[in-house]
Structure 1
Amino acid sequence: MRKNYSSEFKARLVLEVLRGERTLSEIASENQVHPNMLTRWKTEAVKNFSQLFEKEASKTKQMEKQYEDKIDELYKQIGRLTTQNEWMKKKSDF
């Protein structure tokens, strides 16, 4: 039966390995993980470091677009309400 490890657990162990304060074998035995598994997690983490920053930039751009879309929608609504308000003023003057 395979064990499933959480992302947080994997990240914590990989960071510990990358710090280099203890050997990979020490970290593996202390956390009851096979050293090959730690090596695989480390390799995967190092390989995907650049994606971490790409995702952040992508999220920021997506949030900016949503913000701009919301502002555009609010300006359209202001225009409609202003037009309706002017129309109501003209109708009430008669």
Structure 2
Amino acid sequence: MIVRDHPCLTVSQQCRLVKLSRSTFYYAPIGIDDETLVEITAIDKAFTKYPFFGSRQIAAYLRRDGIRIGSHRVRRPPNADHGP
């Protein structure tokens, strides 16, 4: 769709034509590291097992299993787009 080395149009002009912001064009997603993936999986398993637990109870439950995590992290775990 957008050609970086187009002979006549700059990247800015091409982005403007297709109504795409340049930051979106240059954005490269960040992957999830292994530690974060373990945390997210543990949170998911705990919530599936105990759906009535709140964020503090899930954090305490995971700490008993050796996963050091706070209730803020349980409430809002990082997603794949933004990293840890």
Asked whether the two chains share a fold, i.e. TM above 0.5, the reply is no
In terms of fraction of residues, the more helix-rich structure is 1
User: What TM-score results when the alignment is normalised by the length of structure 1?
Assistant: 0.28
Bigger RCO (CA 8 Å, 6+ sep): 2
TM-score under structure 2 length normalisation = 0.30
Asked which structure has the greater CA Rg, the reply is 1
